[in-house]
Every structure is written in structure tokens, then in C-alpha cells.
Chain A
Amino acid sequence: MAKKRVMVIGGGLAGLAAAMKLAELGIPVDLMSLTPVKRSHSVCAQGGINSVSDLTRQEGDDESKHFDDTVYGGDFLQHQPPVKEMTLWGPKIIDLMDRLGVPFNRTAEGYLDRRRFGGTLYKRTAFSGATTGQQLLYALDEQVRRWESAGLVTKYEYWDFLGPVLDESGVCRGCVGQDLVTMEIRTFPADAVIVASGGSGLLFGRSTMSMVCTGSAVSRCFQRGAKYGNPEFVQVHPTAIPGADKLRLMSESARGEGGRVWVPRTPQDPRDPKTIPESERYYFLEERYPKYGNLVPRDIATREIFDICVNEGLSVEKDRQCVYLDLTHISRRELDRKLAGILEIYEKFQGVDPRDVPMKIFPAVHYVMGGLWVDYQRTTAGGLNIDSPRTHVTNIPGLYAIGECDYQYHGANRLGANSLLSCIFSGLIVAPAIKSLLDSQKGPEPSSLLYESARREHQSLHDGLLGRRGGKENPYLIHQELGDVMTRAATVVRRNAQLATALEKVNELSERAQNCSLSDTGNWTNQNVVFTKALLDMFPLAKSILMGALARDESRGAHFKPDFSMPDLKATEPGERRREAEKWCDWFQENTRQWLRSTIATWNGKNPDLTYEAVDTSLIPPRPRLYGLAGAQIIDEVWRQRSQAQANAATNPAMAGTAAAS
């Protein structure tokens, strides 16, 4: 290689941000994507992007509160320094996107307008109608096109990443890709490879994710030795529109702009919802969480909607689970200005105007918090050393991961409008890390034999699939079965018996998938073989999700196991209730000690092996995550007193005995 080059896999927000920043640093970039990058899944992000603003600051907000909201929202399962750094960068990132021409909604005076999102009490979220992801992606796509015109970025669109190329010492030296039109397989030497391939919603069959979100790129790194962190943490979004091919997202911004979730108090009340009087409506989120109301974090909203429909039998419809998401009290003009994009989706696919009639929605798989394990270097102040080549590197030297496909920022549950931030942030900060890496690289270039043998290996796998005879299995039908199994066992409510059965079933499907026969054996735009490869690579991730979930006997964020959750407080007598709360806090402390650690999956060639990693919680100590649940305030109070006593003991050891005795 005459000049150092970097390969970026995936052209969503993270991949494009990385490509553009690398180009600015003068580093040539190859950008590989399954689709033209402008069609990446980031376009589906709707609601907005979070940061502290000049206005929220004057309401008492600052970066440390955004940091705290994110960590509390994630149930403390993320290393805190990267999250802290991300929230510090939030305002700068929004300024940058503003400069790049994103048509953010404006206030009457011409400043960026903001809306409120889940899991916070501040209006931090900047937005561009209800298609913010699309608008942010387009701005980055335009900048990358500019660099492409200048010759620093070369795009390989309609190419499938088949795997990293590792040398004999396990260092990533490039990757193998396949042209989806000509089916040519070739290698791409690179001094660093950045995987920015997004989520893996297709493991669940139907989700809010796009059709390219198969998780194949991540799985191909995982199977070559990259560690996978927190696989069991999968976000189920509370509000989606059920559909035959996809569960379409109905953004949290609908609630951010005042949308209310309710069900009729009478089960399956047949009346027109608009004629049901207020007193006969159950606004269950507002009643149960008076402080956050409809804007509790996603895992909680999802569980409550699920509970209302499944356990309380209050679904709006008899044959289908759904609740009302109601915007009809907001003026049409306001709705059109701020939410048109999502209202049009509902109108187009359901044939009903949500400005006139409450929408019917139900939860759907939406985002993976888990992802490739990545490193960071902490500063003494608790932030990130941005120039460290360790930033976002996987355990394979030279192989980096950013965006939804890394496990870094969202812990056990992601807050709405934080994903666009983490994607752009990780894309921007990986560039200086790569520059440091390239500057420090010494030693000879790998021999051409390394690349040739990698190419041959993938070519023979490909030829083997095409030439397979006599298999009876249909890849599309196996995928459907996989989606059904995963959705039943590993979404909102998880039980060990079901997870164990699901794991057996997935093992069986994985075996059966080996016998898929292809209905297309040609070597031209063969979508059949590309899909079959992606399907085969879903199993290592599916197994990791199920095993991680099975092993984790607790409830944390999106991972909810009722058999291992602490029961609600029952007593009404204040003294007894306080004792219950004390017990609850004891349990919480013990559970934190045992389970506040990240699951790390490593592929052993046939199955994932699980180990656990301590979480850096040195900046914000873990605390019960109740979001002001009605009736549970006593727990927060007991916890506050304990923390206070501990803090006193730490600053004044002489008092320790007294505090413990009281």
C-alpha cells in the first residue's frame, strides 16, 4: 500500500461521519455498503437528536444531567467515561449538523426548536420535522459525496462485507467483499477497518428495522474472534404500527409533542374513541408515572403497554393487541409542522388520518444496545482521550466498531434521540483514533498471499453454497421461524424455561439452515445466495442473545425477567412500608453487586462462550431506577438516606459508627 487507507463498512450516520472526518484528516477512505449509502437505515430515525441547549441550561440543565439521564436510562450498564464525553460533545455536534445544512425546525426567532423526549425532564431534542435521521444522514451523505468528488472517498455500494482479513498475529489488515451485482469476491487491503453496520433487527423477523439490518457484518467479525458485548439487551420500542412485512415505527416525538397513550377502562369498548369521555379512559402511563407521564423511558413504556394488553386484558381490539396513541387534541397546523413525516406514514399504511382518529399502536423490536465490544482510554477527569488509538477498537487490533453495532453508550436501555448522537459522535471520534494508529504503524505490508488465501476461502464458501444439491430447506421459511422464536422468547418478558426452549429451537434451525438449497444458483445479482449467507450468520448472534438472556437472572433495563424481579411494596402502614423499602434496597445492593456487569460473548467455533466484564461506574454511583413510580417514592427516600450516610462516613470516618448504628 503506497498510502495508508481505511475501509469503512456501512454508510449510515456513523460510517458517513467517520468517512467525512477521516477525509478531512487527509486519510483516503473506501466505503462499502449493501445499499447506496443514502438509503441506509438511519433514514428511519424520526424524532430527533439530544443535547443540552442554551435554553435548557437556564432551566438548570447541563451536560452532567444529560450524562446522568443517559446512564440512569441505561440502568448503569454502560462504562461511564464514553457517555460523559458524548454528552459533552452533544451541543458541538448539533452546531456542526446545523452548519451542514440540516433543516432543523426553528423557533419564531430563528433558533433551533427543541422538543421533549423520553427519560428526561428537559426539552433537549433538536429535530427536523419527524424525519430527523433522514435529514442528518443526507447532510453527511452530501459531505461524503463532496469528498468523493475530491477523490478522497471511494464508494463500494451494493457490496457485501464477507469478513475481516486477519494476519498471522491476529491483526486486521483489510476485508473481503462481494459485489452484489456481478458476485465478484475480492479483498480490500486496509490499514484499519471500521465496522459501522448498524443493528440486527432481522433476527426477530419483523421489527422497525430496514431489510439490510441482518447483523451479518457484526456476526462475521464475531465469528472471527471479535467479542460481542451485552447481546441480550434489545430495545423494544413502545409504539409501532403492526404490518405484514414490517412493524413501522411511530416516533416517541408523538408523545414528546403531547401525544397521550390510553385504553378504554371498559375492555374492548366498541365506541368511537373520540366519544369515550375522559373519565372512562385509562391514561395508564400518566397515572402510574406522574413525574414522567407518557415520556418514561422506552423499556418501561413497553412493559406497561404489554402489561395493559396481555395481563389486564385492556387491549383496544379483541383479536389484536394495541393501545391508543392520541394526538387528536393538538392542532392540525402544529402537527403538520412538527410531525408530518410520521403521520403520513400512519395515514399511508393504515388508511386513517391520525390528526382525526387516535392511532392504534403496539411495541416492536427497534434497536440493539449490545454490539461489538470496543475499548476506550479514560482521562483523569473521567472523559475520553480522543487521540488514543484505543478509542472504539475491538479486541482485534486494526478492527474498529462504531454506531449501533458497538455496545458502548446505551447500557441496558437507550434513551430516545440518543442514538443519532452516539452514531455521529462515535463516527467523529474514531477518526483521530485511526489517525494515531496509522501514524504509529510500522513494519512491512502483509504479503499478497494473505489476501489471496482470504479471497479463496470466501470464494469456496460461496461456490459451495451455490453448488449444494439436495438440501430441502428454504432459507426464507427458516428465517420466518427464527423470527417467531426470537420474538416469542426474547423480547418484552423473558422466562428461563422459554429461553431454554428457544435456544434448543434455534440450535435446531441453525442445523437445518445448513441444508438450505438455493432456488437461484446463478452468478448474477443473486439475492438468494446473499440472503442465505446473512441467514447463516444470524445464528451466532441469536444464540448469544438467548444465552445472555438465559444466564442473566435479574431485570435490568430492556431485559425483564419477572421471576427474578423484586415484588412491589405491599404494606400500607408507614412503618411496615418503610421496612419493606429497606429490604428492597438491601436486595438492590446485592443485585447490583452480582449483576452490574456486562455480558461478553466470544465465539468458540460452534457456540458463544459467556464471560462478564466489570462496568466503570466511578462517576455516577448506581441507584434504583424507578422514574417516580407512584407509590414507590419511599424506596428513593431510603436510598437517598443510605447514600447520604455512606458519603458522610467517607468524609468523616469518626461518624461511621454512629451512622451504621442509627
Chain B
Amino acid sequence: MADHSAKSSNGHPQDFEVRILRQDGPGQGSYWESHRVAYEPDMNVISALQRIAAQARTVDGKGVAPVAWECNCLEEVCGACTMVINGRVRQSCSALIDRLLADHPGEIVLEPMNKFPVLRDLVVERSRLFRALKRVKAWIPVDGYYELGRGDKQSQAEQEVAYPLSQCMSCGCCLEACPQYAKIEVSPLSGESSEALQQRRDAEFDRGFVGAHAISQAMLFNAHPTGRMNASERLDTLMDEGGLQICGNAQNCVAVCPKQIPLTTSIARAGRATTLRLFQRWFDC
């Protein structure tokens, strides 16, 4: 590691090492691989991975396939580039190299998320996230898209509650950090069509924990003047298998959310609302 102490005149390292947990495909073993990246100012983990893809060569000079990873907007609004960086789940675009090296000199460690099946290297299969949004009917049940006038008036205070919840970009950080959210990996059977596989997968997903993000979305739509028209359906889903009762109140979700969404507030609200719903169901029957 002696070469890592080599620094240019302005105090920055000349290069740094990135250690990556790789995996060639689903169900295959994982392995560590190290890459050396020349230091440039204003780098983030994405630009380091771009250099690694262009080099396609490990620290030992061995030619390898470029590391696969997901990214898109590079400004922390799309939710694509989630990974575990130096042990912490976060967006890789906003993970700045200077700060990572200051906290942990010489080396940066990248791993795929643990709660989702690995497709390849740092790319994971997160369709369960979007499936959960269907489970809680995370939409406004409008009549249609013809001209029907404006929406309801809303106070600034209502907007200021809704907007933060509506910034959820389905990145999955809250799920990775959640002790109750267990990985569900459904492998294809031989000869199975992709549609059949997806159906089997969805059925498994629907039994698993919906997760903090979906609970929070349910609360967002239940607070909306039109959205609340199917509030009880959303609450019933949260009271079903894989619903709110799975939450162990570890509060990790809110700590790792890159958008600082008040997820535990949403969960507490959902708790109150489902309790009321339970009483309502007793009286209804």
C-alpha cells in the first residue's frame, strides 16, 4: 500500500484504489477485484467507475470485462445508482471521492446492494420496489385525462407535507438498511418464459414486506383529496401479509434516505390509520 501515500504537490493522492465485489451473473459466486484510478479533482464514484470501464484492467494489470453498474441522472434525482460504498448504502453519484478518501484514505470499497438479487457486479434486480407501488395503489384514481377542470385547492401546509414524500425516487436505500426486509430471489426454471417467471416472482414479492418507501407512498396518496377515495384499500394492503406489522421500528430507513424523507413519520401515521381501519372493519361486519 506504500504507493498510496504518494501525493502530488497540491496534497491530493496521485491515484487511489477501488475494491469491488464482483459477480458474473445470478446464482454465481462473488469475488473481489481491485482497480487503480488516477486522481482528478471533483471526482465521484461514477467518474471513477467510468475510468475503470475505460481501462478494463485490474490493479495487477490483468485485462477484465468492465465492471457493470447502473446510473443515469448523476444528480441524485433518478435513484438508479444505489450501491454500498465503504459499507454504507447510498447513491454513487453524490459519493464524492475527496470525502470518501478523507474518511478512509487510500481505498474505496464498492458492493452491490444485499437485499436484491445481483444481475451482474453492482447491478441488482429491483423490480420488487415497483411491484410494491402497485400493491399499495400508489396513484390518484382520476376519472380520466379529458378536461375536467382544476384539482382541489390545497394549503401551503398540505403541499409542504406532500412534497417531501413525493420526492421518493425508488432507490431502495431504505430497504437495504431495513433489518426486516429480506432478499427474495426467484431463479428461472428450465424452459420457463420470462412472463411466467415474472408472475412467479410477483407472487413471491407480494408475500414479502412492502417496505418503508411503499408505506410512505400509501400515506402520500391517502392524504390527497382524490387519493383518499381509496384510502381503505391501501390500508387493507398494509394490514395484509407483508404489510406494516413486519416493521420492527429499527428506524434505519429514515437514517439512510438520500432525500431525507420522513419515513418513520409515515410509518407512525400508517400505524394510527390501520388501527382505526381495524376498528372500522369490526363495526362494518
Residue B156 lies at the interface, judged by CB distance under 8 Å to chain A = yes
Binds A, one of B2-10, B136-144, B236-244, B247-255: B136-144
A106 contacts B159, C-beta separation under 8 Å: yes
Contact across chains for B130 and A145 when beta carbons are under 8 A apart: yes
B166 at the interface (CB under 8 A from A): yes
Verify if B47 is at the interface (C-beta below 8 Å from A): yes
Q: Is the CB of B66 within 8 A of A103?
A: no
A143 to B66, CA, bound (A): 37
- A129-B163, A131-B77, A142-B139 known; 16 new pairs, CB 8 Å cut-off, are A38-B79, A44-B73, A103-B162, A110-B154, A142-B133, A142-B140, A143-B139, A146-B137, A146-B141, A181-B119, A244-B40, A244-B42, A345-B76, A525-B121, A525-B123, A527-B68
Contact partners of A38 in chain B: CB under 8 A: 78-79, 130, 169-170
A512 → chain B, closest Cβ, in Å?
A: 15
A146–B140 Cα distance when bound, in Å, is 9
Q: Would A43 and B77 be within 8 Å (CB), given that A474-B54, A519-B56 are in contact?
A: yes
Whether A244 contacts B74 in the complex (CB less than 8 A), given A39-B79, A106-B156, A528-B66, comes out as no
Interface: A413 (CB within 8 A): no
By a CB distance below 8 angstroms, the chain B residues around A146 are 137, 139, 141
Whether B96 lies near A210 (C-beta < 8 A) is no
**Contact between B50 and A245, CB atoms less than 8 A apart:** yes
In whole angstroms, how far apart are the Cα atoms of A249 and B77 in the complex? 12
* In the bound complex, CA of A349 to CA of B166 (Å): 23
Q: Which residues of chain A have C-beta atoms less than 8 A from B156's C-beta?
A: 105-108, 110
Contacting pair B75 A248 (CB below 8 A): yes
Taking residues whose C-beta sits less than 8 angstroms from the other chain, chain A's interface range is: 35 or more
Q: With A142-B140, A243-B42 as given contacts, are A349 and B66 in contact (CB-CB < 8 Å)?
A: no
B47 pairs with A245, CB closer than 8 A: yes
Instruction: Establish whether residues B68 and A525, one from each chain, have CB atoms under 8 Å apart when the complex forms.
Output: yes
26 contacts between A and B (CB under 8 A): A24-B145, A35-B80, A38-B79, A38-B130, A38-B169, A39-B73, A39-B79, A95-B148, A95-B151, A99-B140, A99-B148, A105-B159, A135-B163, A143-B139, A145-B139, A146-B137, A210-B78, A211-B71, A244-B42, A249-B75, A337-B160, A348-B76, A477-B54, A520-B66, A525-B68, A525-B121
Cβ of A223 within 8 Å of any chain B Cβ, yes or no, is no
Determine if B64 is an interface residue (Cβ-Cβ < 8 Å): yes
- Residues 233-261 of A, flagged 1 when their CB comes within 8 A of B and 0 if not, give 00000000011111011000000000000
A80 in the interface, Cβ–Cβ < 8 Å? no
Is A57 an interface position by the 8 A CB rule? no
Partner of B150, one of A99, A101, A139: A99
Asked if A138 and B145 sit within 8 Å, CB to CB, the answer is no
Q: Is the CB of A95 within 8 A of B147?
A: yes
A107 to B53, CA, bound (A): 49
The 8 Å CB contact of B44, one of A95, A103, A244, is A244
- Which of A106, A212, A524 is within 8 Å of B24, CB to CB? A524
In angstroms, Cα B268 to Cα A371, docked, is: 49
Residue B224 is within 8 A (CB to CB) of chain A in the complex = yes
Is A329 positioned at the interface, with any CB of B under 8 Å from its CB?
Answer: no
Top 4 A-B residue pairs of the complex, sorted by shortest distance between their CB atoms: A519-B56, A110-B153, A98-B151, A520-B65
- Shortest Cβ distance from B67 into A: residue: A527
Chain B, interface size category, equals 35 or more
Closest to B221 in A: A101
- Chain A residues, Cβ within 8 Å of B232: none
- Residue in chain A with minimal CB distance to B158: A106
Decide if A43 touches B66 in the complex (CB within 8 Å): no
- Which residue in chain A gives the minimum CB-CB distance to B159? A106
Kindly list chain A residues whose C-beta atoms are within 8 Å of the C-beta of B79: 38-39
Bound-state Cα–Cα, A328 to B94, Å: 24
Beta-carbon contacts under 8 Å, A384-405 to B: none
A-chain residues with CB within 8 Å of residue B42 when the two chains form the complex: 242-244, 349
The residue of chain B having its C-beta at the shortest distance from the C-beta of A179 within the complex is: B194
Which residues does chain B contribute within 8 Å of A106, judged by CB atoms? 153-156, 158-159
Measured CA separation A111–B213 after assembly (Å): 29
Q: Is residue B269 contacting chain A, with contact meaning CB distance below 8 A?
A: no
Name the CB-closest residue of A to B79: A39
Q: How many A-B pairs fall under 8 Å by CB? A: 189
CA distance A23 to B66 in the complex (A): 40
Instruction: Report if B108 contacts A (CB, 8 A).
Output: no
Interface residues of chain B, those whose CB is within 8 Å of chain A, are 24-25, 40-44, 46-47, 50, 53-54, 56, 63-66, 68, 70-80, 93-94, 96, 119-121, 123, 126-127, 130, 133-134, 137-142, 144-145, 147-151, 153-156, 158-160, 162-163, 166-167, 169-170, 221, 224, 226-227
Contacts of A131 in B (CB 8 A): 77, 167
Asked whether A128 is an interface residue with its Cβ less than 8 Å from the other chain, the reply is: yes
Q: Distance in Å from the Cβ of A25 to the closest Cβ of chain B? A: 10
Q: Which residues of A contact B (CB under 8 A)?
A: 20-21, 24, 35-36, 38-41, 43-44, 92, 95-96, 98-101, 103-111, 128-129, 131, 134-135, 138-139, 142-143, 145-146, 148-149, 181, 210-212, 242-246, 248-249, 337, 341, 345, 348-349, 351, 428, 474, 476-477, 519-520, 522, 524-528
Which of B44, B138, B147, B166 is in CB contact (< 8 Å) with A245?
B44
Alpha-carbon distance between A139 and B163 when the two chains are bound, in angstroms: 12
* Chain B residue contacts of A134, Cβ below 8 A: 77, 167, 169
Q: How far is the CA of A99 from the CA of B159 in the complex (A)?
A: 14
What residues of chain B lie closer than 8 Å to A101, measured between beta carbons?
Answer: 139-140, 151, 166, 221, 224, 226-227
A105–B155 alpha-carbon span in the complex (Å)? 9
Smallest Cβ distance from A17 to chain B, in angstroms?
9
Whole-angstrom CA separation of A244 from B162 in the bound complex:
34
Please indicate the chain B residues that have their CB under 8 angstroms from the CB of A428 in the complex.
Answer: 145
* Alpha-carbon distance A45/B197, docked complex (angstroms): 36
* Distance of B194 from chain A, by nearest CB (Å): 8
Q: Which residues of B contact A248 (CB under 8 A)?
A: 74-75
Closest residue on chain B to residue A142 by CB atoms: B139
Given A100-B140, A103-B162, A105-B159 in contact, is the A95-B47 Cβ separation under 8 Å?
A: no
| Distance between B38 CB and nearest chain A CB, rounded to angstroms | 12
Most buried by A among B123, B148, B160, B166: B166
Task: Find the B residue at minimum CB distance from A344.
Answer: B76
**What is the minimal beta-carbon distance from B15 to any residue of chain A, in angstroms?**
15
Q: Determine if A135 and B166 form an interchain contact, defined as CB atoms under 8 angstroms apart.
A: yes
A337 to B164, CA, bound (A): 11
A142 touching B73, Cβ below 8 Å: no
Q: A240 to B144, alpha carbons, bound, how many Å?
A: 38
**Cα-based distance from A128 to B160 in the complex (angstroms):** 10
Which one, A143, A149, A211, contacts B72 given CB within 8 A? Answer: A211
Please indicate which of the listed interface residues A100, A111, A244, A522 has the most CB atoms of chain B within 10 Å of its own CB.
A244
